[in-house]
Amino acid sequence: MIVLEPTHSDALIGFAEHFNASLVGLSTFGSSWLIDHMAGNSAPSVYRPVQPKGYSHGDSLLDKWNNWNYIAEEWMIDRWVILPGQVELFTQYFQFPPSRLFERRTSYSLILINQHFSLGRVRSNVPNVIEVAGLHMAEPSEPLEPELLEFMNGAEHGVIYFSMGMEIMNRWLPKNMEQKMLQTFAQLKQRVVWKHEEHTLVNKSDNIYLSPMASQRQLLEHPNIKLFITHGGLLSTIEAIYSGVPMLGLPIYFDQFDNVERVLKTGLARKLDINTLTEKQLMNNIKELLQNPTYALKAKEMSRRFRDQPTSPIESAIWWTEYVLRHKGAPHMRMTDQDMAFVPYYKLNIFSILFGRIAFSAILVVLICVIVVNFMLNKFLRIAEEPSMFYTSI
């Protein structure tokens, strides 16, 4: 068995082909139109918001068209820009023809996705797509450093945790945002733990603790934690929901908009735009999240839902992986190649027939109108000519 990230790592499928092994995908970003295509999932991304367009959650015909249009553009980029490079690596290092890559690409025995229906969005999945959100929390987290633990234990009014994740450095944020944060935090009676690459900052108040690498899961599980200000990364969102902590989202790119929008709709979070952020907006939203008990209650409710599973995510992943091994790739769980062809997969055949019928009807109506107008015009001209002939004869 070969386990790999299925998104844009197609050349590695050569290992499965070389060893004649079953292929299992582990999608760290959850599902996407590409995962749906590989698994034969019947195009739910057309009807559900795609990740980078997470700010659009409507169900109107226009929303569905926008989603389909985005997927079509991404498909062309994948097919004509990304895949050629993957095919070149596949043929160069594994010595197989490109056709084997395309065949294997849609023959995943199992795809484990980093999402769960209790996190805010229900979507249909075929049997070989298994939700295992929280898989990364199977390992115990590192304990908090003694100084930080003492800082949090002594927080009479609670603690706010602010982190923009592992990939985003604070110095990359919009100009003056750091000072806005410092000035706002200084006015709070709560203590603030700020994940920051620096150990000291100018104008830092005593209620702020800077930590370049604190154990986020331990922080969120601390009884004094009241609010999580986050960029909206998927793992951070999952951990906050698991711990039942309200969130203030400051999304920057890709799936962060989708993640923040999802928790916003569940009622446990609020969202701000970092490009237009003001101290007043930040303070008002922090106060709303801290003083309105609705957010904390909703966060606890979401936590109970997420935790209430028959098995842990890691146990579920292990069981289904072993199931694939026991049943020699479990081909009975996959859609057939005919069902996964691009045209029927995205219902383009139905749309083509519908478009053809509409186009035929429109052309027919236009032809009838032209014939009627031409007939009426000729008749009018004949009538107009008859009096002139009469007067001429007189």
Q: Model-level pTM greater than 0.85?
A: no
What percentage of the chain reaches a pLDDT higher than 90?
59
Query: In the numeric block, which tokens belong to residue 153?
Result: 């234990």
Cβ atoms of residues 224 and 159 within 8 Å: yes
Cβ atoms of residues 231 and 252 within 8 Å: yes
Model pLDDT, residue 101: 95
Neighbouring CB atoms inside 10 A of 61's CB total: 8
Model pLDDT, residue 55: 47
Query: In the numeric block, which tokens belong to residue 191?
Result: 């203590």
Establish how many alpha carbons lie within 13 A of residue 104's alpha carbon, considering only the half-sphere containing its beta carbon.
28
Model pLDDT, residue 96: 95
Per residue, the 3-state secondary structure of 61-110, as one string, reads HHHHHHHHHHHHHHHHHHHHHHHHHHHHHHHHHHCCCHHHHHHHHCCCCE
The segments of the chain whose pLDDT lies below 50 read 55-56, 389-391, 393-394
Give the architecture (CATH level 2) of 141-307: 3-Layer(aba) Sandwich (3.40)
Cβ atoms of residues 273 and 252 within 8 Å: no
List, as own/partner pairs, every contact residues 216-223 make where C-beta atoms lie below 8 angstroms and the sequence separation is at least 24, other chains included.
216/141, 216/161, 216/163, 217/137, 217/141, 217/243, 218/141, 218/142, 218/143, 218/144, 219/144, 219/152, 219/159, 219/161, 219/193, 220/161, 220/245, 222/144, 222/152, 222/159
Residue whose C-alpha is closest to residue 239's, from 258, 225, 251, 253: 225
